[in-house]
Structure 1
Amino acid sequence: MAEGLAGLAVPVIAAPMAGGPSTPELVAAVNGAGGLGFLAAGYKSAAAMAEQIAAVRKLTDRPVGVNLFVPGGPGEDAAVPGYREVLLPEAGRWGVELPAAVRPDRDGWEAKLALLTADPVPYVSYTFGLPTAAEAAALRAVGTVQIGTVTSAAEARAAEAVGMDALCVQGPEAGGHRGTHQVADEPGSTPLLQLLGEVRAVTRLPLIAAGGLGDGGRIAAALAAGAAAVQLGTAYLRADESGASAAHRAALVAAGSATVVTRAYTGRAARGLRNAFIDRYGASAPKAYPAVHHLTAPIRGAAAKAGDTGTMHLWAGTAHAQARTGPAAEITGELWRAAQG
């Protein structure tokens, strides 16, 4: 069904950014520039995922991808009530109620796999883990190219063993959640270019480089280090087609903005712009995802509605200051031309 990564006219992939930034329009725009766009199915129901797939099919006839969040193993869920107590004054300031208990959440995993098997898309990528061999085989049988997100050589071996066709190698420079396969794992700090070499040493699968690739020089360096393509997320947050809020867009390029890795918002390690909420609560947050994500949702929602960048989560990679405005197709073309020298 799907052409391989080598078939891309421009080896640039629009990263799936869950929570709103990735839109059908952004996917279609990057596709139109010769790259490959991914929809983010994380935090969406299977029905909402199907709606976005239908929408993007109306905008482009080129191959597109869908990213899934893999249900995780156990974390420090027993510590979540204690974190709730810590957050109660914050909730009071915003006039919101925090959930008294958080139910187990598999992010619609089974329903999404069933839908993607019945109505296939060319590419599916996985974050936070891997499908079972049987689940991967079912999508392989309908022609879907599958990409596993990895943050270490060990995860790369596991991804190849389960039947992935390519690997997205995510370095510590990446914005948003680090895709470690276990909630409690502390993400490694090996820089992306070095990490590419470590992963290449254990697999011959095609590699996609992700993390801190905000300009042509970094893109060229990643390709020279053995990547078949690069994946850009933060670089598209200020694009016309991005679903990022106005406050998020402005914060990316505000004077003095800097990123930090935190579990304060979701219980998983994620890189975002440092703010007062992270400074206040980062040290208290347990390694419990998605429980902490659901716990902090009312606060994050109220802060986002108010455009309060001191409280809302502002995912961003280390190259956030280089994010530019304009149509995503133009951004893609400019970056690719710069990468070619």
Structure 2
Amino acid sequence: MDDVCRRVRTFCDGFGVTVPVLQAPMAGACPPSLAAAVAGAGGMGACGAVLHGPEQIGEWMKAFRTGSPSGAVQLNVWVPDSPGSGSQERERLAADAAAFLGEFGTAGESGGWSGPPPYREQCEAMLTSQPTVVSSIMGLFEPEYVRRLHAAGIAWFACATTLEEALAAEEAGADAVVAQGMEAGGHRGSFDPEDAERTDIGLFALVPWFADHLRVPVVAAGGIGDGRGVAAALALGASAVQVGTALLRSPEAAIEAEWADALDGLGPEATLTTHAYTGRLSRAVTTPFLRAWQRPEAPRPAPFPDQAGLVGRWRAGGAPEVDPLNYFAGQSAALALPEPAGEIVTRMWQDASALLGRR
């Protein structure tokens, strides 16, 4: 295990952590208190900033620094999709999805969502905020932005779901690649949304495949819920792990009680992948609402962000059969415990260290 120890130590020294456990940047479920707790345990906190405007990004970082003045932290943003279906096709898909949602109740007058704030403004705000890491999902940053990040001493971590994506990220200047296995909760990080279902590679096939072909460190993400998963990922070639669902039941995450309760004892088979919440493929708790979208007569959900806007309208209307929130969950949700986030991170690393034979 000497090779594992050297790899982990190099990563930790390079990115300002003492524990190779990173918080996943979960949009809508990453308050500064959670990130500060993870950083306080020696890991790296995170903010999924896709829903944040520039001012919100700055406010989030200020709150994080209040709780963790020198802790490691990453800010994450979605890279916008390339133009997809033409306007007429998008309109048709949205109309079909709206008609189907009408079976669940009445839409509200408002509550729709047109998409995330302006991407370039988000990128500028992240650069100004000076985090340890700025990370991307759904694609790659432009070369000039990568140059500016590095000039400011900020590392770039790129999420990838295939070796082709990972090699492209390395070539583009990524300092580490986050290998996202299909077990991961929340949104699938495929560069091309049309590839998301086809590239359903499990993490423990993905990690050694990446490790054997990349020069930069690999961060393993997806289905890691305790020290056993951490040890396995590191033994397979990862330099660190990224965990999300494992932290959702902690008090610092402060998610809705209904969502937290749904994770309690949730088996791997009780999650599914779906486009029904936002139009992008994601993994969530199986619910009657999501099952309905899998019926043979159900239409294809509208593309992102149209589907998210439609679902928001029906939620605003109080449609009783529409899930009131997105119950995102990874396949190891049953391992998530209602304990302080710092204790979860500490125990993960202690248990992993014992399994790896570290002293």
Q: Give me the TM-score of the superposition, normalised by structure 1.
A: 0.90
SS in 2 for 1:64: strand
1:206 and 1:309 map into 2 onto residues whose CA distance is 41
Match of 2:241 among 230, 233, 247: 230
Residues 104, 320 of structure 2: 8 Å contact kept:
no
1:71 matched residue in structure 2: 80
2:3 matched residue in structure 1: none
Match of 1:199 among 210, 225, 230: 210
Map 1:1-341 onto structure 2 (within 5 A): 5=14, 7-19=16-28, 21-61=29-69, 62-76=71-85, 78-88=89-99, 90-91=101-102, 93-97=104-108, 105=115, 107-187=117-197, 188-253=199-264, 258-282=270-294, 284-286=299-301, 288-300=303-315, 310=323, 312-341=325-354
Higher mean alpha-carbon deviation, 229-238 vs 309-318, is at 309-318
Residues 265, 335 of structure 2: 8 Å contact kept:
no
Residues 234, 316 of structure 1: 8 Å contact kept:
yes
1:92 Cα deviation from its structure 2 partner: 7.1
Indicate how the Cα distance of structure 1 residues 295 and 4 shifts in structure 2: closer, same or farther if over 3 A, else same: farther
Aligned length: 336
Residues 265, 333 of structure 2: 8 Å contact kept:
no
SS in 1 for 2:168: helix
Residues 259, 327 of structure 2: 8 Å contact kept:
yes
Indicate how the Cα distance of structure 1 residues 307 and 99 shifts in structure 2: closer, same or farther if over 3 A, else same: closer
Deviations along 1:214-244, one digit per CA (max 9) or x if unpaired, are: 1211110001111111000000010010032
Higher mean alpha-carbon deviation, 9-18 vs 77-86, is at 77-86
2:42 and 2:127 map into 1 onto residues whose CA distance is 26
Residues 209, 231 of structure 1: 8 Å contact kept:
yes
1:175 Cα deviation from its structure 2 partner: 0.3
Moved over 6 A (4+): 98-102, 306-309
1:294 Cα deviation from its structure 2 partner: 2.1
1:246 and 1:18 map into 2 onto residues whose CA distance is 17
Indicate how the Cα distance of structure 1 residues 76 and 322 shifts in structure 2: closer, same or farther if over 3 A, else same: farther
Indicate how the Cα distance of structure 1 residues 53 and 249 shifts in structure 2: closer, same or farther if over 3 A, else same: same
- The one-letter amino acid paired with 2:80 is P
SS in 1 for 2:194: coil
Residues 71, 106 of structure 1: 8 Å contact kept:
no
- The one-letter amino acid paired with 1:217 is R
1:106 Cα deviation from its structure 2 partner: 5.8
SS in 1 for 2:342: helix
Indicate how the Cα distance of structure 1 residues 125 and 285 shifts in structure 2: closer, same or farther if over 3 A, else same: same
Residues 184, 287 of structure 1: 8 Å contact kept:
no
Indicate how the Cα distance of structure 1 residues 33 and 301 shifts in structure 2: closer, same or farther if over 3 A, else same: farther
The unaligned stretches of length 5 or more in structure 2 are 1-10, 355-359
